[in-house]
Structures are given as C-alpha cells and as structure tokens.
Chain A
Amino acid sequence: MTTDTNPIAMAAITSVGAAGMPRHHFAIFAALFVFLIAAPFLLYPIFVMKVLCFALFACAFNLLLGYGGLLSFGHAAYFGMASYVSAHAAKVWGLTPELAIIAGTLVAAVLGLAIGSLAIRRHGIYFAMVTLAFAQMIYFFSLQAAFTGGEDGIQAVPRGHLFGLIDLRSSEVLYFFVLAIFFAGILLIYRIIHSPFGQVLKAIRENEPRAISLGYRVNRYKLAVFVLSATLAGVAGATKAIVFQLASLTDVYWTMSGEVVLMTLLGGMGTVFGPIVGAAVIVTMQNYLATFGDWVTIGQGIIFVVAVLLFREGIIGVLAKWIRKPL
C-alpha cells in the first residue's frame, strides 16, 4: 500500500537540520512538544493521556502498515495483552509502574514474535486474515483465562510510585510520565523509519521480488518490523492500563484492531505525523459522541468508507502533498 507521492522529488527539496532530521520535522516535533507540555493545563489531562496512548499505538501500527506494507488486522492482541499483563503486574505482583509497563511490553514482543513468524508465511489479504484470526484467539484466551478477570477485566489497578519514589496518583504528575513514554516511542519509530533498516523495509513494500533479488532476506525484515510494531503497541497498551487503572476485553477485541487501522488510515498511512492526528480525531469523536451509542460505530464506518474511496492519503498525506514536503 503506497501513499508517498514521488518521495525522491520531495527529498530533494527537503533541507536537513539538526541530527540529520529535516528542519520542518524538527520544527513539528518541537511544536508538538511545547503543545503537549502545555496541554494538561488547557485540556483534561486524562483525555490527553488517552490520546497519547492511542497515538503511540497508531504510530506503532503505522510502522508495520505504512512502512512495512503489511496490513495486520489483529494489533489489538498486543495492545490488549500488554495492558492485561501490566495491570496484573502492578496489581497482583505489586511492581512499580515502569516495571509493570516493561513486563507488558515484553509479553507483547514475545506474542508478536510467535504470531508474526506464522503470519509472514502468507501475503496480502491472507496476512490480514491470519493476524485477525490469531487476535481473536487471544481474545478467547483472555475471556477464559483466570488472571484477566473475564468480563470484568482487571479493575482498580494501582498507579503506584514511579521508580518507587514519585507518587503517580496525581493525574498531572502521571501525565508527564506518559508524555515521556510517548515521545520516546515516536522518536524511536522516527529513527527506525529513517535508518537503513527502514529504507530496506520501504524497498520490500514497493517491490518484494526485487528486494529478494538484491539479496535481502525479506522475511527476516518483515518479522523484525512486525515484532517492533507489536512491542511498541504493547508499550501503548501497558501504559493505558496504568493510566486508566483498568484492563478489559475491549482492548483485545477486533473492534480495537479496526480502530487503530482507522486512525492510521484517516491520519495518513506512511506519514510520520498522520497516525497522531488520526488518533486525536478518533478519540475526540468517541469522547463527544459517547452518549449517542451505536452512532459512534456508524460514524467510524462512514469515515472508513469515505477515507478509502476519496481520501486515501489521509489528512497529513494531503497536507504533505499540498506543501510538497514529506510529513
């Protein structure tokens, strides 16, 4: 699935600034950082943290879809399982929040390795169906397993003390912890995308047989990006469990997998900043339409249809075309 419009021409007109990052990217990251520092004083912190968790989730997903060209329809498995493990670790094992998040992330990575190594045996549509089916298996496992609490989920997860020192019960303090995780996550994704590894991924996305003929072990690259994506989705899910003090079946269900696809599609597949915008739009919509029940589902379906038919570059993709610079 390619969304870039003539990336070579775009790269040519892009000026490079500090740390090898194009100047306008650096400016956007800086502006985003300043905005997010100010955000908890302007907006409801819990809401912004929700956006940050989903934005990281969507960026992780976009690493796989936008740069690896692999449509996983089962990313809820990593997000949700990490959130269960992190909630369990914080509540039952009494781990500090950063250790609980690491535990959840590790489980997501292992799960990603197991499912990824099976799923990359098929291509295209089959890949999507295989990942969806495995995610449904994880959902049934979560429904039956004892530690997940079945329909109730894991409730009243303690936020705990960061490094055993800083009390996270205050949402303002927690916010800056979440912000640090979010920024570390998206900068890591940015680094992966712009590394030689990321360039090989794009080559595989554009023309797999040619990448094979050039001697790249395509399946290793695919598996690596799958595991990276699952791991970062796990970071997002584990953090969400600490923020909301809750891990539930919603996070592992296929609707969640669909939502992250929608966020990425709406924001712009294969763009750095698109998934963040997509996540912000979708979470805001869910927040304000929450009282309208199933109209949220209908609205999401309509956005899907419109985005696929008329708007395949996504919001940021259109913007990038407009200013003739990659975003």
Chain B
Amino acid sequence: MFELLGIPPQVLFGQLLLGLINGSFYAVLSLGLAVIFGLLNIINFTHGAQYMLGAFGAWMLLNYLGVGYWWAVFIVPPIVGVTGIVLERVLIRRLYHLDHLYGLLLTFGLALIIVGFFRQFFGVSGLPYPPPPLLTGGHNLGFMYLPNSRAWVIVASLIVCLATWFIIEKTRLGAYLRAATENPVMVGAFGINVPLLVTLTYGFGVALAGFAGVLAAPIYAVNPNMGADLIIVVFAVVVIGGMGSILGSILTGFGLGLIEGLTRVFYPEGSAVVIFVIMALVLLVKPAGLFGRSV
C-alpha cells in the first residue's frame, strides 16, 4: 500500500468521504438559504430547526406509523415545506416592508420556539434511527471501504442539487422566479402572482432543509440541537460562496466539506474552525464572496 505524507490512504480517503458527506449537507442547506434569500431577501434562521424537523419527521413516521426510510424521503420534505408555507403566510409575510434584519430576528425567534418544544418533549440525548437494510452494507473499492449509507447521501444530495439547478435555470417556472428576484413589481405587472411565488419559494427552500434532515437521520442521531450549530457553519459557507449563483452554492458546499475533511487528517485541532478561517480570508480578498455579486 502507498502512503501519502505519512497518512495511510484508508484514513485519508475515509476523512475525505466524511468531508464529502458534510459537504452534501452544506450544499443542500446553503442552496435552500440561497433560494429563499434570492426572492424573499431574508436569511432564514429557522433553516436549522427545519432540518431538525426533517429528521424528526422521518423518526416519527417510523416509530408512530411504521413508515420506513424510503417513503420518508418522499413524504417528509413536502410536509416540512408545508409547515414553512404556513409560517410564511401567517408571520414572515408581515415583515416584507421592513428592514430585512427583522426577518432574521423573527426567524431566529421561531427557531428558538421550535427547538425549545422538541427539547422539552424529546430530550437532548438523541434518538437512534436504524438505517434501512439497503443502506447497511458497503463496498470495498480497493483503496477504501465505502459504506452504502454514505454513498447514498452523496448521490441523493447531488441529484437534488442538480434538479434544483435545472428547475431554476432551465424551466419556465424558474424563469419566473429569476425574473421576480430581479424585479418583483415588473413581474407582477405581467400578471404573475408574485406573492404566491414567494410563498412557494419559501416552502421549497424549507423542503430542501427537511430533505437534508431525512438524509441525516440514519447517519447522525436525531436530536433537537442537530441543526443549531450546523446552520452557523452553513451561514459561513453562504458568506464564502455568495448567494448569487446556484451552482456556486453547490460547489462551495461540497468544496468546503472536502477541505474540512482534509484538515481533519492533517491538522485535527483546526477542523472545527477551518471554514471560519476561510471565511476571514475570503472577506479579505473578495468581500462579495467567491460567486457573489457585490452587495
């Protein structure tokens, strides 16, 4: 077996794989934030709580109704999306005429409420979610062992990211969306129901967070606090990538996951902060973000 800088390849590729998985979550979550930000101009602080809702949704389906993982992948994201639509219609909508920072404060408060309730009723110790049989085994690729569950997370999030990119960049609905992002008043004048589009966009962004939550359920323990720290890292990812481009969000998410994995191999103490350090560097060199337009 060959060695790279004194690191056995199993360790290196294992950490890179973990990095890719983290990157999958960064990509899906930052994509949701970017889609919501594009049209609503708010940063959705509830995103982490909605990711947690996705994981709990899968757990509840399994434990209360006996509905398995593969159904949950399709059922839970729309349900989480609908809860988002309700929030948008009832609360968030009232703030569009104000400074965007109020949207941040409102969604922060909502996140506290949601996470607080789940902590109160489910505790903080974490609930196990057994992976479905199809995801238990793995393949030996020669240079490393690839567990099926991890391969599935990477493939599924790539598919969802690319599908989102396709919908937004290549379909008529996406064209409306992009037009409304540029100039909502003009698009409304052409007879398109912009408020409905805004609601659906928020629901879609939230559904992406719910989808990430379902993917996370068998990998990490289902825990009310699972989204809180993750979402702050995703904020840093969003600052690094800039929210101007869909493909940019996806690339930044996966790329930063890989860099984090590499850091864990070569300088483990720095792995928790490497993304924040990169953020500082990007702010110094290109304040608008790698793919961003200057704001």
Binds B, one of A42-50, A96-104, A134-142, A174-182: A134-142
Known: A133-B235, A298-B112, A298-B116. A308 touches B105 (CB 8 A): yes
Chain B, Cβ-Cβ closest to A124: B100
User: Is B233's CB within 8 Å of the partner chain A?
Assistant: yes
- Give the distance in Å from the alpha carbon of A7 to the alpha carbon of B89 in the complex: 34
Binds A, one of B3-11, B75-83, B175-183, B273-281: B273-281
Question: In the complex, are the beta carbons of B239 and A122 less than 8 A apart?
Answer: yes
User: Is B13's CB within 8 Å of the partner chain A?
Assistant: no
Question: In the complex, are the beta carbons of B276 and A294 less than 8 A apart?
Answer: no
Question: In the complex, are the beta carbons of A130 and B43 less than 8 A apart?
Answer: no
Contacts of B94 in A (CB 8 A): 309
- Give the distance in Å from the alpha carbon of A123 to the alpha carbon of B147 in the complex: 43
- Give the distance in Å from the alpha carbon of A134 to the alpha carbon of B229 in the complex: 13
Chain B, Cβ-Cβ closest to A302: B113
Q: Number of contacting residues on B, CB 8 A?
A: 46
Known: A1-B99, A136-B233, A304-B106. A121 touches B112 (CB 8 A): no
- Give the distance in Å from the alpha carbon of A296 to the alpha carbon of B119 in the complex: 11
Chain A, Cβ-Cβ closest to B109: A304
Question: In the complex, are the beta carbons of A126 and B117 less than 8 A apart?
Answer: no
Question: In the complex, are the beta carbons of B116 and A305 less than 8 A apart?
Answer: no
- Give the distance in Å from the alpha carbon of A136 to the alpha carbon of B235 in the complex: 11
Question: In the complex, are the beta carbons of A136 and B104 less than 8 A apart?
Answer: no
Chain B residues 244 to 281 lying within 8 A of chain A, measured CB to CB, are 269, 272-273, 276-277, 279-280
- Give the distance in Å from the alpha carbon of A118 to the alpha carbon of B105 in the complex: 22
What mask results when residues 76 to 113 of chain B are scored 1 for a CB within 8 Å of chain A, else 0?
00000000000000010011001111101110111111
Number of chain A interface residues as a range:
35 or more
User: Is A190's CB within 8 Å of the partner chain B?
Assistant: no
What mask results when residues 41 to 72 of chain B are scored 1 for a CB within 8 Å of chain A, else 0?
11100000000000000000000000000000
Contacts of B229 in A (CB 8 A): 136
- Give the distance in Å from the alpha carbon of A298 to the alpha carbon of B110 in the complex: 9
Known: A125-B100, A133-B235, A309-B94. A261 touches B105 (CB 8 A): yes
Residue from B104, B106, B287, B295 in contact with A309 in the complex, judged by beta carbons closer than 8 Å: B106
Chain B, Cβ-Cβ closest to A128: B104
Residue from B41, B113, B228, B269 in contact with A144 in the complex, judged by beta carbons closer than 8 Å: B269
The binding surface of chain B is classed by DSSP as helix
Chain B, Cβ-Cβ closest to A304: B109
User: Is B17's CB within 8 Å of the partner chain A?
Assistant: no
User: Is A82's CB within 8 Å of the partner chain B?
Assistant: no
Known: A134-B280, A261-B105. A300 touches B112 (CB 8 A): yes
> Least Cβ distance of A263 to chain B in Å?
13
- Give the distance in Å from the alpha carbon of A312 to the alpha carbon of B95 in the complex: 11
Question: In the complex, are the beta carbons of A297 and B119 less than 8 A apart?
Answer: yes
Chain A residues 258 to 280 lying within 8 A of chain B, measured CB to CB, are 258, 261, 265
Residue from A71, A261, A294, A312 in contact with B120 in the complex, judged by beta carbons closer than 8 Å: A294
> Least Cβ distance of A103 to chain B in Å?
24
Contacts of A126 in B (CB 8 A): 239, 295
- Give the distance in Å from the alpha carbon of A141 to the alpha carbon of B110 in the complex: 28
Chain B residues 167 to 194 lying within 8 A of chain A, measured CB to CB, are none
- Give the distance in Å from the alpha carbon of A1 to the alpha carbon of B104 in the complex: 12
Chain A, Cβ-Cβ closest to B281: A118
Question: In the complex, are the beta carbons of B101 and A124 less than 8 A apart?
Answer: yes
User: Is B16's CB within 8 Å of the partner chain A?
Assistant: no
Question: In the complex, are the beta carbons of B276 and A137 less than 8 A apart?
Answer: yes
Question: In the complex, are the beta carbons of A305 and B109 less than 8 A apart?
Answer: yes
User: Is B236's CB within 8 Å of the partner chain A?
Assistant: yes
Question: In the complex, are the beta carbons of B117 and A140 less than 8 A apart?
Answer: no
> Least Cβ distance of B89 to chain A in Å?
14
Question: In the complex, are the beta carbons of B116 and A258 less than 8 A apart?
Answer: no
Known: A298-B112, A305-B109. A128 touches B295 (CB 8 A): no
Chain B, Cβ-Cβ closest to A127: B101
Contacts of A71 in B (CB 8 A): 101, 104
User: Is B144's CB within 8 Å of the partner chain A?
Assistant: no
Contacts of B120 in A (CB 8 A): 293-295, 298
User: Is A224's CB within 8 Å of the partner chain B?
Assistant: no
Question: In the complex, are the beta carbons of A301 and B91 less than 8 A apart?
Answer: no
Contacts of A300 in B (CB 8 A): 109, 112
Chain A, Cβ-Cβ closest to B95: A308
A-B CB contact pairs (8 Å), 23 listed: A1-B102, A73-B104, A121-B284, A121-B287, A122-B295, A125-B43, A129-B43, A129-B238, A130-B283, A133-B232, A137-B273, A144-B269, A296-B116, A297-B113, A297-B119, A298-B117, A301-B112, A301-B113, A305-B110, A305-B113, A308-B95, A309-B106, A312-B98
Q: Lowest 6 A-B CB distances belong to which pairs?
A: A304-B109, A301-B112, A301-B113, A297-B116, A298-B116, A137-B276
Write the residues of chain A forming the contact surface with B, with a CB cutoff of 8 angstroms: 1, 71, 73, 118-119, 121-126, 128-130, 132-134, 136-137, 140-141, 143-144, 254, 258, 261, 265, 293-298, 300-305, 307-309, 312
